[in-house]
Structure 1
Amino acid sequence: MCSGSPMAVVASAPGKVLMTGGYLILERPNSGLALSTNARFYAIVKPLYEEIKPDSWAWGWTDVKLTSPQLSREGMYKLALKSLRIQCISSSETQNPFVENAVQYSLAAAHATFDKNKMELLHKLLLQGLDITILGGNDFYSYRNLLERRGLPLTPESLATLPPFSSITLNTEDAIGASCRPEVAKTGLGSSAAMTTAVVAALLHYFGVVRLSSSKDPQERKDTEALDVVHKIAQTAHCIAQGKVGSGFDVSSAVYGSQRYVRFSPEVISSAQVSANAGFLVEVSADVLKGKWDHERIEFSLPPLMTLLLGEPGTGGSSTPSMVGSVKKWQKSDPHKSQEIWRRLSEANSVLEMQLKLLSRLAKEHWDAYKCVINNCSMLRSDKWIEQASEPNKEDVIKALLGAKDAMLHIRYHMRTMGEAAGVPIEPESQTRLLDATMNLEGVLLAGVPGAGGYDAVFAVTLGGSSTNVTKVWSSLNVLALLVTEDPRGVSLGSTDPRTNEITSAVSAIHIE
């Protein structure tokens, strides 16, 4: 029998930068400032087959195809329609636990919420199979090796010459031979959280569990309840795929966008952890959807005329789980010292947050003075900023800028102290030298190691048009400035396959002189 083929659903979710809250965010009620970015992960969901065969009513399973073009991988799965379990039937190398759990828990959410009529429609939809394609924006991955092999300078302009969604196999030193496994070098933007969120959002919309908005303006979003459902299912799928309950800020940022975040109590998904392999997916999803999610999320973004920059030092990435494990071990061995460092770090984080909020308020209330100060300070080192205080309103802006900068220096000091005590390189010496040099440049407000720190990308926040100068200095120091900047949007629907667009938002946003 022929069935009218449903339209393809395209959903995307952003990567993140945790500006403050590294380590502390693992424990309530500590907060963190997470900025979502213009680096986005896409999921495209459509039917695998146009027709449903006459005997399909008796089928106990359906087919699922997962394609990852950047890795040149294609995986085939069987999805049991009764237990909702998914099983890979192709090479084990193509397995993706994040997508697999996204499929299972999204489907279980539909079962937990649908009535009999909707279930019949869902069953027909599933008999057409699921065709899922995942695509990550170039900024999630490191193309540093590729640029060096091509003899290109380490600049954003060089990155902008790469086609969108470039093959990740290009990272390898020797990409000859089909059996060559690609080196997936990442930049620390939270690709697994963004991917899981995008797949969950696309599936829930495709199944009809939620109706997501395609609006790009957060102020116009009317789908808060739908986003809450996406958040609960994406957090659960991501935690089960990881095998542990993390802080969840990366998934929350992927769903809602830039925010001040306080983690949820892990107990809310304890039933999922216990029953992950017991075949109670529908019951688990019902518990998760009805559970008391007590995370705190307040909208937050950088003040106007400020730019987020990310730089890849090329010293290799760091294993966040092992660093977190070492810090936790140190906390238990030296509770008195660790509590004192955490208290001071928390205070410094709060001061930075307060100063940034003050700057946003001053921009709203005294725009002309604010704009004048930002533009002037963008051309000066911070020790010269105070000279711009020619009137009270301008003085208030400058005091807030210097207060934010001072708070960042305190945050870095306490993060280094914690790393030294725990024996992990939270801000390694090479990063310290780079960050100190960056903080001393004209127009730089903040510079630090995001999240858990280590050897991943560093971040900077610049004033006005000073980011161009920073990227040039970084390039001279062998640091590759990425095409990433802040974009406060969370998950959203797209209208077409993103590969049909000739340029990405990242490329169109870059200023090339």
Structure 2
Amino acid sequence: MEVVASAPGKVLIAGGYLVLERPNAGLVLSTTARFYAVVRPLRDSLPADSWTWAWTDVKVTSPQLSRVATYKLSLNKTTLQLTSSRQVAHPLLLHFRESTNPFVEQAIQFSVAAAKATIIDKERKDVVDKLLLQGLNITIIGHNDFYSYRKQIEARGLPLTPEVLLSLPPFSSITFNSEVANGTMTGEKCKPEVAKTGLGSSAAMTTSVVAALLHYLGAVNLSCSGQSSGDNASGRELDLVHAIAQSAHCLAQGKIGSGFDVSAAVYGSQRYVRFSPEILSSAQAIGGTVLPDVVSDVLTQRWDHENKQFSLPPLMTLVSRQASMSILLFPKWQSNHFTGSHQPP
């Protein structure tokens, strides 16, 4: 069995900073740029003594980063232990120890714990146990719009134009900011950072992994037959994806943010009012060390966020332009007799 789930990025068009505090609202649009998570079993068959295993294997592949990380997953505590992390040599990364992605790790841990907590039927629990014993093989890729490819284009001697950017292959390898670009003095060693465009890549990635795992393990049914998951998935199932994705994302970033990026990744474009931070206080206080208890607490909380469906007015489209290879957004008006654009001041 193989499951593919995707989640969109976001653009906050109104309510910046104000959305951090209730009851202030923000208007957020989901983007056509999406993250994709693919989940499949690591092994097709299990040995006879597999029922005695206390750990199972997890493999996470990020082709755009040329990175493969392997873990052991505790079947009791649902916590991960890194066993290896391999990455093709990159000139900017030679002096640094390869790191893992806390957003992916928390998404895996919280999703497995949530599946165990919400699936009560014995037959379905046996299915979950078998799927976990087979191991989890997870692949994650993101749309090019989430990243800046300026250095790649300059290295090829090409002009910095939208046309050149669109000519790049889908899911191209990701470039890194240099030491100087990170704000350090020349010669100082600073770990390079992925060059992003601010479309909410961590939230979209976290949500796609959570959605894929919850569906794979049978905690939700997001089957959509070619349509967006929001068209067919029940509100309860999307709410479960939202609660787990918010929890994993907040714990990974080390703070309880407004959550509008994760909400947009789950529900799409909306008028958003944040949830009360106290909902995730137990997860932050415990630090995720007792995940089954944390997840149980999260799922019993009354999530008081508001997400009312929102869309742009008719004939109005939000498009992106590249200005020095960074994302610039402006509305574009269209009619049967006129095509033009209103440039921002």
Q: TM-score, normalised by structure 1?
A: 0.59
Counterpart CA distance in 1 for 2:25 and 2:168 is 37
Counterpart CA distance in 2 for 1:300 and 1:83 is 39
SS in 1 for 2:241: helix
**2:77 maps to which of 74, 80, 83:** 83
Instruction: Sort the Cα spacing of 1:76 and 1:94 in 2 relative to 1 into closer, same or farther, 3 A.
Output: farther
1:27 aligns with 2:32: no
Counterpart CA distance in 2 for 1:138 and 1:219 is 24
Counterpart CA distance in 1 for 2:175 and 2:288 is 33
2:292 counterpart residue number: 282
1:97 counterpart residue number: 102
2:187 counterpart residue number: none
**1:184 maps to which of 194, 206, 212:** 194
**2:137 maps to which of 131, 148, 156:** 131
Counterpart CA distance in 2 for 1:217 and 1:54 is 40
CA distances 1:81-137 after superposition (whole Å, capped 9, x unpaired):
111110111146241111111111111111211223322221111111000000010
Matched-pair contact (CA < 8 Å) for 2:9–2:204: yes
Counterpart CA distance in 1 for 2:79 and 2:42 is 18
Matched-pair contact (CA < 8 Å) for 1:45–1:130: yes
Instruction: Sort the Cα spacing of 1:16 and 1:459 in 2 relative to 1 into closer, same or farther, 3 A.
Output: same
CA distances 1:294-325 after superposition (whole Å, capped 9, x unpaired):
1111111111221212344438xxxxxxxxxx
Counterpart CA distance in 2 for 1:245 and 1:170 is 27
**1:8 maps to which of 2, 20, 23:** 2
Matched-pair contact (CA < 8 Å) for 2:260–2:274: yes
2:327 counterpart residue number: 457
Matched-pair contact (CA < 8 Å) for 2:221–2:233: no
Counterpart CA distance in 2 for 1:217 and 1:56 is 37
Question: How big is the shift at 1:147?
Answer: 1.9
Code of the aligned partner of 1:167:
S
Code of the aligned partner of 1:154:
L
Code of the aligned partner of 1:225:
R
Counterpart CA distance in 2 for 1:287 and 1:157 is 49
**2:159 maps to which of 147, 153, 165:** 153
Matched-pair contact (CA < 8 Å) for 1:63–1:78: yes
Counterpart CA distance in 1 for 2:241 and 2:231 is 18
Question: How big is the shift at 1:221?
Answer: 2.9
1:201 aligns with 2:211: yes
Instruction: Compute the RMSD of aligned alpha carbons.
Output: 2.2
Q: How does 1:325-344 map to 2 (within 5 A)?
A: none
1:249 aligns with 2:260: yes
**2:53 maps to which of 27, 49, 59:** 59
Matched-pair contact (CA < 8 Å) for 1:213–1:223: no
Counterpart CA distance in 2 for 1:65 and 1:288 is 27
SS in 1 for 2:130: helix
Higher strand share: 2
Question: How big is the shift at 1:218?
Answer: 7.6
1:505 counterpart residue number: none
CA distances 1:252-307 after superposition (whole Å, capped 9, x unpaired):
0000000010000011111211223432x122212211211111111111112212
Code of the aligned partner of 1:124:
K
Matched-pair contact (CA < 8 Å) for 2:4–2:38: yes
CA distances 1:210-246 after superposition (whole Å, capped 9, x unpaired):
0014253588434221111000000000000001000
Counterpart CA distance in 2 for 1:219 and 1:9 is 17
Q: Which has the larger radius of gyration?
A: 1
2:284 counterpart residue number: 273
Moved more, 38-47 or 52-61: 52-61
Matched-pair contact (CA < 8 Å) for 1:168–1:183: no
Matched-pair contact (CA < 8 Å) for 1:147–1:153: yes
1:466 aligns with 2:340: yes
1:211 counterpart residue number: 221
Code of the aligned partner of 1:70:
Q
Counterpart CA distance in 1 for 2:79 and 2:211 is 19
User: Any stretches of 5+ residues in structure 1 without a counterpart?
Assistant: 1-6, 174-180, 316-455, 475-513
The percent identity for this pair of structures is: 62
**1:45 maps to which of 16, 39, 45:** 39
User: Any stretches of 5+ residues in structure 2 without a counterpart?
Assistant: 86-96, 180-190
CA distances 1:426-483 after superposition (whole Å, capped 9, x unpaired):
xxxxxxxxxxxxxxxxxxxxxxxxxxxxxx633211211325x96xxx9xxxxxxxxx
SS in 2 for 1:165: coil
2:94 counterpart residue number: none
SS in 1 for 2:194: coil
1:379 counterpart residue number: none
Counterpart CA distance in 1 for 2:205 and 2:157 is 32
**1:74 maps to which of 45, 68, 79:** 68
1:298 counterpart residue number: 308
Question: How big is the shift at 1:250?
Answer: 0.1
How many residue pairs end up in the alignment?
316
Counterpart CA distance in 1 for 2:16 and 2:146 is 20
Matched-pair contact (CA < 8 Å) for 1:142–1:171: no
Instruction: Sort the Cα spacing of 1:9 and 1:78 in 2 relative to 1 into closer, same or farther, 3 A.
Output: same
CA distances 1:346-382 after superposition (whole Å, capped 9, x unpaired):
xxxxxxxxxxxxxxxxxxxxxxxxxxxxxxxxxxxxx
SS in 1 for 2:84: coil
Matched-pair contact (CA < 8 Å) for 1:20–1:34: yes
Code of the aligned partner of 1:69:
P
Counterpart CA distance in 1 for 2:318 and 2:266 is 20
**2:237 maps to which of 226, 229, 253:** 226
SS in 2 for 1:90: strand
